[in-house]
Structures are given as C-alpha cells and as structure tokens.
Amino acid sequence: MSTTRGARQLTIKEVASHAGVSPMTVSRTLAGGRNVRPDLQERVMAAVRELGYYRNENARSLRPGQPSGLVGVAITNLANPYYGNFALGVEEVAAEHGRRILLGNTGEDDARERQLVSDFIGRQVDGLILVPTSGDAAHLRPERLGDVPLVLASRRVPGLDVDTVLLDDVGGSYRGTISLLDAGHTRIGFLGNRSSVFTGERRYRGYEQAMTERGVPIDPTIVARDQQDVEAASRAARAMLDREDAPTAIFSANNRNTIGALREIGRRIRDGLPGPRPAIVSFDDFELSELMPVPVTVIDHDARLLGREAAILLFSRLDDDSLDPAARTVELPVTVEHP
Amino acid sequence: MSTTRGARQLTIKEVASHAGVSPMTVSRTLAGGRNVRPDLQERVMAAVRELGYYRNENARSLRPGQPSGLVGVAITNLANPYYGNFALGVEEVAAEHGRRILLGNTGEDDARERQLVSDFIGRQVDGLILVPTSGDAAHLRPERLGDVPLVLASRRVPGLDVDTVLLDDVGGSYRGTISLLDAGHTRIGFLGNRSSVFTGERRYRGYEQAMTERGVPIDPTIVARDQQDVEAASRAARAMLDREDAPTAIFSANNRNTIGALREIGRRIRDGLPGPRPAIVSFDDFELSELMPVPVTVIDHDARLLGREAAILLFSRLDDDSLDPAARTVELPVTVEHP
DNA sequence: ATCAGGATTGGTAACGTTACCAATCTCAAG
DNA sequence: CTTGAGATTGGTAACGTTACCAATCCTGAT
C-alpha cells in the first residue's frame, strides 16, 4: 500500500530550478548565505517561501561529522509532574541550543530503556539524557554507546562513571528529619522506596543519619520502604497509624508516599478515628500543601532546573571538545520549607 | 573543532565484511531475514552483536516512501501535569506502533509553534500532534504541511478542518454549574480564560447555558476571564470574595484557577476573614481535592486518554490509505464527581 | 588593456541504506 | 545428464544534502 500519498517532500533541486540557480547556491543560501550574491539569495528565499520548502534534516545529518541536532531523553514516568518539569527543563535548554528532543517513557522498565536507547542511537542522536531504571547497565557502557555522550539524572547507575545531576537527597532528608526531631518528635515513621532505588537509599540515609545523630533509635515496625504508588503508600500509612505505638510524625521520601499518607490521615480525621494526627515531612513539593489538615514540611526542589542542568552538562560536552573527560556530578540544593 | 570524536558510527558495510557477506545480506537479515539462509542470518546477527551495530534510521528513511517513524508533538506547557499525561498517552500509543515522538514545548507562543512545526517537517515526521496556540493558522494549512497528517488536541484552530480530539467542555461545565444551582447557589462566580482561548470559550458557554436555563442572571462583576496562572487566579478570587455581594460558589474553568482560588480561600480561613466560604466546582482534577477546607466538585477527565485518542486518530490515517479524508472529531466524556 | 586575487557559481562524489535487477546456486523432474 | 523453477546472493543506483574542487566572474592595481 501507500505508493503515493499526495505530493512528496520538496527537494533542494526543485527550489534551485524554480529560482534559476544551482542546488549548491540554494544550499549555501540556506546555510547562511556566505559568498552568495544578495540578489540570488533573495531569489532563493522567495522560491523557498513560494514552494513551502523544508530542508531535509535527515539527509543533512547523513553527511559525516554533521550532528543530527537530536537529543534522546528517556524518563521513567511522564505522568509524574516532577518528570514533566524535568523534561521541560531539558527541552528549554535544548531549544536554546537549536536541538530537538526525542522523548521516551520507560515506565521503570529495563527492557524498554534498552529499546529506547538503541532506537535513539539508531536515529543518530547527538547525546542522551536518562533517568535510569535500576536494572542492568550493560547497554549504557561507553563501548555500546560509541561516541554518544550520556548524562544521568536523579539517579546513578552502579559502575557507570558518567556526568550526573542529582538532588541533595541525603542533606534534604537529614534536614527534614532534624526539623521533626527539633519539634520534639521521637517516634518518626518512614515511607519511601527500597534501597535498590537510588533515591530511596539516599533519602533513607538522610533520615537514618539524623536519627542516629540525635540518639533516637529507628523502629523498623514504622519504616515502610516498598511503596511505588499512592495506593500502597496509603495502606502503609494506615498500618503504621493503626498501631498502639503509632508514630507522631512521618517522614515521606517522595510525592507518591506523601499523597498516600495524607489521604489516609484525611480519612481518619473524616471518620473520627482516634490516634495521633502525625506531622509530615515530604520530600517533593505538591500543590496546596499549605491547606492540609496536618502541618506539612516540604523538602522542595526544582525539577525543571534539574532538567536544565542535565542539558547544560550534555551540551558542554558536545560543544567543547577540549573538556576534561572526567565525569562530573552536579548536586542541586533543596530547600526545607516549614508550614 | 570536532574532527574526530572517537569512533564514528558503524555501517552496514563493516558488519557485512565482519560476517563475510555482502551488505545486502545484512540489510535483508535486519529486515526480517526473508530469503536469507539461516546460517548466514546467524553469522550476521553475531556480527551485529559483537560490533554493537545500530542501523542508521536517518539514512534508512532517506529512501523514498520510507516513513521516518517519527511523530512531532507540540504542546503548550509540559510543566502542567495535564499535558504531561497527554504526552504520556501519545508516547504510549506511538510506542505500540513502533514510532518515536519528537517533543516540543510551545509555551503558548505562536512563533515557537511555527518554528517547531517547520523543524518537525524538516525531520520528516510521519505525522503531527498539536495542542495549538490560539494564533494564526497559516503554517498549519494542508498546502504548507504537504502530506503530513495533523491531529489537534484540546483545542480547535479556526478555519482548520482536521482531525481533532476534544473534551466535552461545554457539557462538563454545564453539569458542574447545574450541580451548584441544584445545591441552592444563585451567586456563582466564574474563573477562567478569555474567549479567544478555545476551552475558555467552551467552558464559559457551559456555565452560561446552565445559568440561563435556570433563569439565574450572570453578574459580570463576579466573572473573571483573564487569568493564566495561579497568582492571577488568586488575585481574581480575592477581588470577588472581598465584595459586599461575594459569590457563595465559584465555578473554576481550569486547574490553575482552582488552585489560585483555593489558596485565597485558605488564606481567608487562616486569617479569620469574614465572608462566605464558597463551594468550588473545578474543571480539571487535582490531587487531594477531597482534603480541601471547602467542598470541591471535580469535573474530571483523563488527559492520558486524550493523548491516546489523538495518537490513534493519527495512526489510523497513517496506516489506512483508504480512510475517508473527512476530518473527524472525538469528544471525550468528562465525569462530575461530588465531594 | 592586462593580470592577480578574491568572490561567486556549479559539478561531482559521498554519507548509509535498500529497491531493483542480474547472477548464481539448488534440486526435482524429465 | 539436462532443464527450469525457485531460492539465495550480490552489484548498482538512488534517496537529499553538502564538502571539495574547478570554473567563471569581478575588481582594482599596474
């Protein structure tokens, strides 16, 4: 099927003959017009406008050494506003550098990530920006990527020494937990991800450091580290709060867990259930946190900035050959905002 | 600069000589292996694995009739979770069809949209999905787009008759407003966008229809239709609620306005200001709406589904030449969820 | 008027791939 | 042992573009 689907794409040749010049003159004009007589440039541009010609970027990038102007971006979950903002930041900086982004969603699926990376490379991307899943890293090794620079965001990959942008997970979690301890809490629950998730590990470490430093023992019965979605987080919070010795405060290591915990707390208040109304410290901001029925301290950060930084690291490698090849890490600060 | 940046991309020729066959045999093997001896296929695949070869998709799509496998997607604001979900829906369906998406953010800027569309076409996209800005549509006319199918989402463009996916803005707003009227409210404020924004117009129309049908006059002093962001929405809500004859309920036509209104209401409650605590009907859901200090009725919908539908419309055109060329419109239902 | 030097223009080849065609090989039937 | 049909393999050209080189044009100095 599909032998002819309307007029096919115009070529430089057609523009040339329409303007009465050679293809080379058209090419030069489009490339900036160096060494082309102004009147010919005018004729060429007129023909381009008249015919509605678009230069074929794929053919262009076929010539050796020519960059494609594409950046492959794979993130784990576009539905999460955090990653939406991240993607926006990347897109902004890419646009400033005249590049486009090829976007893929991995859904935390390792196989999908491999597939995306292969495809991106097949499409000749100039660089890759990745929020890696936690799986195997063989497909990200330099020898597999050839000369395509890679920047990791949010998470590291064990054994992969490349440019990375991170949040100050440990510091933020530490300060957030300290603020609870300062307020007199000693039974502080933890909701988060398991250690195999990079940020899950780091954020737990911050919590742990603060508790240890203040000599407050960590009670594993009020530490839940395996919730990926709001539903599971809500259940974990319920189990914690149903206990005799329920926590008086909860440290939530990410947005999903915070929402889940607040749902459960809201339910208990509505239903008039007894027990503490725990204070919350949330790693990740969310809208209207100030209107919640319990005080929410927010460990906030700018995902868009994280995206911008990732893109900046990437383009610095692309645009500067003399750059020290050693991997760089940027760790963005987070703020702790009291209610 | 950049004469040699490490090893350049591998070619099919190198794979061929490594496997001891001709480039054509490699090409055929990669294309599925029809009419290639199994042992040669094996040798080829081994060479591909060993060398880490990726087929150059750009060169591939250079041949006439070959689709690029790319879809250009331009949305207005990736930071908005609504559009993040939309993009996710598009990406999912594109992936199911073996396509990748080129993503651009217009930021409601007309010039940027034009630029993105040009670039997308230059990169030989097989189709375009657009949340259009409200400006001029000349660059979206069929004669400018050649044979590249276009699908619009969320909004129509005046004078452009193409496949479109919309929400049932009018019906949802009508039903939401009716629910306020049913609850006995007669002073119902409106927060939304101006008429030149497609959804702004439609959502106002639903409000208007409900009010008119019930014989409740619309008071222009409590209709604010020019807020794009939370800040402005908050100010508009404040102005409304500061009035002697403040509304007892507010219809908010979008997420940004809802958040703004709730911020202002929260402030008034915290500060103990007098005046009504208006009920809210919000077009667009947001998390934890059930925990708000005033009842919030949510007109909900699935942005991800909207994205999926847009992609489905597009791929139906790409994959079925015999399709009736008449433009189709899909209007997705919305739900009205009482608190 | 002549000529060097630079500006301008155009022709050719090559980028990596695959459609098309021609060449070779296999094998069963005569 | 020949024949021919079908399977398999490889060579060539072309997709749209631009780097490189050669050809031509123009300018001002002699």
Model confidence over B204-215: pLDDT tens digits?
999 999 999 999
Tell me the average pLDDT across B296-316. Answer: 96
Map out the domains of chain B as residue ranges.
12-55, 70-161+304-333, 169-300
Q: Cβ atoms within 10 A of the Cβ of A316, count? A: 14
**Residue A315: which pLDDT band, with cuts at 50, 70 and 90?**
very high
Q: Considering the domain B70-161+304-333, what is its CATH architecture? A: 3-Layer(aba) Sandwich (3.40)
Say if residue A2's pLDDT is above 70.
Answer: no
Annotate B115-153 with DSSP letters as a single string: HHHHHHHHTT-SEEEE---SS--GGGSHHHHTT--EEEE
Which stretches within B3-145 are classed as H helix?
A: 12-19, 23-30, 38-51, 57-62, 81-96, 110-122, 142-145
d(CA B208, CA B166): 20
Query: pLDDT digits over B218-227, tens only?
Result: 999 999 999 9
Which nucleotide shows the minimum CA-to-C1' distance to residue B60? C17
Burial class (CB within 10 angstroms; exposed 0-12, middle 13-18, buried 19+) of B45: middle
- CATH class label, B169-300: alpha beta
Query: pLDDT digits over B131-167, tens only?
Result: 999 778 889 998 888 889 999 999 999 989 999 999 9
Looking at CA atoms only, how far is residue A284 from chain B in angstroms?
14
Helix (H, G, I), strand (E, B) or coil at A186: coil
Say if residue B236's pLDDT is above 50.
Answer: yes
Beta strands at A296-300 and A335-337: parallel, antiparallel or unpaired: antiparallel
Say if residue B1's pLDDT is above 60.
Answer: no
Q: In terms of CA atoms, which chain B residue is nearest residue A2?
A: B321
Query: pLDDT digits over A191-222, tens only?
Result: 999 998 899 999 999 999 999 999 999 999 99
Give yes or no for A326 touching B (CB within 8 A). Answer: no
Instruction: Give the closest residue to B5 by CA, choosing from A35, A221, A145.
Output: A145
Looking at CA atoms only, how far is residue A257 from chain B in angstroms?
13
Say if residue B245's pLDDT is above 90.
Answer: yes
Q: Is the CB of B37 under 7 A from strand D?
A: yes
Q: Which residues contact B253 (CB under 8 A, 6 or more apart)?
A: B173, B190, B191, B192, B193, B199, B200, B203, B204, B207, B283
d(CA A172, CA A210): 11
Give yes or no for A66 touching B (CB within 8 A). Answer: no
**Residue B8: which pLDDT band, with cuts at 50, 70 and 90?**
low
Question: Quick one: pLDDT at residue A3?
Answer: 33
Pick the residue of A63, A66, A103 with the most B CBs within 10 A to test the interface with B by mutation.
Answer: A103
Topology alike, domains B12-55 and B70-161+304-333: no
Tell me the average pLDDT across A278-286. Answer: 93
The CATH T-level fold of domain B12-55 is 434 Repressor (Amino-terminal Domain) (1.10.260)
Helix (H, G, I), strand (E, B) or coil at A15: helix
Burial class (CB within 10 angstroms; exposed 0-12, middle 13-18, buried 19+) of B251: buried
d(CA A298, CA B316): 45
Q: Is the CB of A75 under 7 A from strand D?
A: no
C1' of D4 to CA of B35 (Å): 20
d(CA A169, CA A1): 54
**Residue B2: which pLDDT band, with cuts at 50, 70 and 90?**
very low
Percent over 70 (pLDDT), chain A:
98
> Are residues A105 and A133 in contact, defined by beta-carbon separation less than 8 angstroms?
no
- The lowest-confidence range among A38-42, A64-68, A81-85, B292-296 is A64-68
